Amino acid sequence: MAATHTNYMAIFWWLFALTIIEIGVIYMPIAKVIIVILLISLALSKASLVAMYFMHLRFERRTMALIAVTPIFLGTLLVFILIPDHSAVPHRTREEVRPAAVSH
């Protein structure tokens, strides 16, 4: 492993700036879909910074990086598999029978 010097304060300031940008994105007057896409991309960039520098994956072999990326792939796959369940509409199997009104 090569001797490297990581400036942890620089990483902290990048994470801080990305957090401020995330807060700004929330209040932007744009479509919710675009807001969600921006927030997910900002969160992934913050997670990659944390994984690369604070978990020291940047200095590991490629095998360790593949082990770290696998859960992201599986989580994304599960989200797309479960999307139909989220938007499903409950179906009625038969119409409800109501008694006729009694007139006196």
Q: What is the distance between the alpha carbons of residues 23 and 38, in angstroms, rounded to a whole number?
A: 11
pLDDT computed for residue 91 by the predictor: 63
Question: What's the pLDDT score for residue 20?
Answer: 97
Residue 89 is encoded by which pair of tokens?
A: 């509409």
Secondary structure class of 31 (helix, strand, coil) = coil
Summarize the confidence of residues 66-86 as an average pLDDT. 85
Residues 34-72: pLDDT tens digits?
A: 999 999 999 999 998 998 888 777 777 778 778 878 888
Concatenate the DSSP letters of all residues of 42-96 into one string: HHHHHHHHIIIIIS-GGGS-HHHHHHHHHHHHHHHHHHHHHHHHHT-----SSPP
Give the confidence band of 1 by pLDDT, cuts at 50, 70, 90: very low
Question: What is the reported pLDDT for 62?
Answer: 78
